[in-house]
A and B are shown apart, each in its own frame.
Chain A
Amino acid sequence: MKPVEISEKIYDVGVIDWNIRDFHGYSTELGTSYNAFLIMDEKVVLIDSVKKDFSDELLRNISRIVDPGKIDMVVSNHTEMDHSGGLPRVMHRIGEGKPVYCSAMGLKNLQKHFAHNLNYQPVKNGETLSIGKRTLTFLETKMLHWPDSMFTYLNEDKILFSSDAFGQHYAGCEAFDDQVDEHLIMLHAKKYFANILLLYAPLILKLVEKVVDMGLEIKMICPDHGILWRKNPNKIIEAYVRWSKQEPEKKAVIIYDTMWHSTQLMAEAIAEGIHEKGVYVKPMKLRDSHRSDVMTEVLDSKAVVVGSPTLNNGLFPTLADFLTYMKGLRPKNKIGAAFGSYGWSGEAVGLIHQQLEGMKFKMIDSGLKHQYVPDSQGLEMCREMGKKIGQAVLDS
């Protein structure tokens, strides 16, 4: 795409990955972008690189503004390869002796990614660098979302280059939040938070406090994925605070899989019971819903109800996958419940119960098992369980 001048003499020279649908196990149904930024001051600065396969496209985009050989320095806010993979190619083109500014952890991590040593210049938290009329301030943001992560703030223009934070996997010709459907973009920002950042929620709250204490005025937030926030940057900051606090909404999600539809019948009857209490509920079958979309629902659901048939004396494999994934993301303040149909042994419900308890979910009861196909009495028990869950959500 043609570079976009996002502020005077500052360009988004990044690339769009229209076709990616699986981003290390996260479903990117809209594609994504790898944003990179060029600041034309007395010094020419490139902020971040792109995924390796897109290096030449990045260089072509830069060439539409300036000869890449004229770039004086590069800032690497984050080592992950969708933002650093192009670095060796870019440095080869612009001059390998040119400085690459990164955090102290960035130095360690970049050296473990690329065999060829570059002129890495580690910076400290709060350190500034004059580039002519403008000044860059580097802010360490460890574990937002890797140990090396940092933000770069452009003092005069009040632009925050925020690396992966505040990003969304969205591919589009539009550059800014005021050019796209706000609801759609917030949904993808939420999905990004739920799947990438949730486990670091306590650190995010501290970081936002730190930025507020520093009194940084922010006119624009430029993440490394998706659209840039200029209409109201506070909106996404406030959303991050809200999501980090983990105060779920009064809603429920039912996550299950099924072999001969018995666990599905149970899931839908439980949903009916929850709905009867006036609580929003969404049943999601794991072979039809991607784990990253399910996790997005988990983020703001008070009740997380999990069901599995018993297969070979254990959990159905998609449940084992999802429970491992959810555990790692450490959701808090949840009500939990387990259910499932079985043939003869029926271990799955107990295994789910144990795992949810391990995640400190407040369990509604010991779980609901039904042998083979639930009859009308069995379905009534599911509806009753649903009502109990719905009531617990309302009382929370």
Chain B
Amino acid sequence: MDRYVCQICGYIYDPAAGDPDNGVAAGTKFEDVSDDWECPVCGASKEDFEKEA
């Protein structure tokens, strides 16, 4: 599963870990994360993320 990087603050969304503090279970693919989810560090929206190179 691909990791995605926040283009604003550099936070990396790792699907293996998810974002349990904000209701995203471990093992959730980035594509399956809800559209209104925000970067837990800086509040950027999902569209501000790019696939890790």
Residues of A within 8 A of B (CB): 105, 140, 142-143, 147, 199-200, 202-203
Contacts and interface: CB of A to CB of B under 8 A. Distances in A.
From B42, B44, B48, residue with most partner A Cβ within 10 Å: B42
B41 interface: yes
Contacts of A202: 8, 48
Contacts of B41: 105, 142, 147
A147 B48 contact: no
Nearest to A199: B8
20 contacts: A105-B41, A142-B41, A142-B42, A142-B43, A143-B8, A143-B9, A143-B42, A143-B43, A143-B44, A147-B9, A147-B41, A147-B42, A199-B8, A200-B8, A202-B8, A202-B48, A203-B8, A203-B42, A203-B43, A203-B44
Contacts of A142: 41-43
A332 to B, nearest CB: 12
Contacts of A143: 8-9, 42-44
B3 to A, nearest CB: 20
A199 B44 CA distance: 13
Contacts of A147: 9, 41-42
Contacts, number: 21
A148 to B, nearest CB: 10
Q: Is the interface of A mostly helix, strand, loop or mixed?
A: helix
Given A140-B43, A142-B42, A203-B44, 9 more contacts: A142-B41, A143-B8, A143-B9, A143-B44, A147-B41, A147-B42, A200-B8, A202-B48, A203-B8
Contacts of B8: 143, 199-200, 202-203
Q: Is the interface of B mostly helix, strand, loop or mixed?
A: loop
A140 B43 CA distance: 9
A104 to B, nearest CB: 9
Nearest to A142: B43
A203 B8 CA distance: 8
A147 B41 CA distance: 6
A140 B41 CA distance: 12
A317 B46 CA distance: 38
A246 to B, nearest CB: 15
B52 to A, nearest CB: 18
Nearest to A206: B45
Interface in B20-51: 41-44, 48
A90 B43 CA distance: 31
B50 to A, nearest CB: 13
Contacts of A203: 8, 42-44
Nearest to A203: B8
A28 to B, nearest CB: 25
| Ranked 3 nearest A-B pairs via Cβ | A142-B43, A143-B42, A142-B42
A143 B48 CA distance: 14
A144 to B, nearest CB: 10
A219 B41 CA distance: 31
Contacts of B43: 140, 142-143, 203
A195 B3 CA distance: 30
Contacts of A199: 8
Contacts of A105: 41
A20 B42 CA distance: 30
A142 B9 CA distance: 10
A147 B44 CA distance: 11
From B8, B9, B41, B43, residue with most partner A Cβ within 10 Å: B43
Nearest to B44: A203
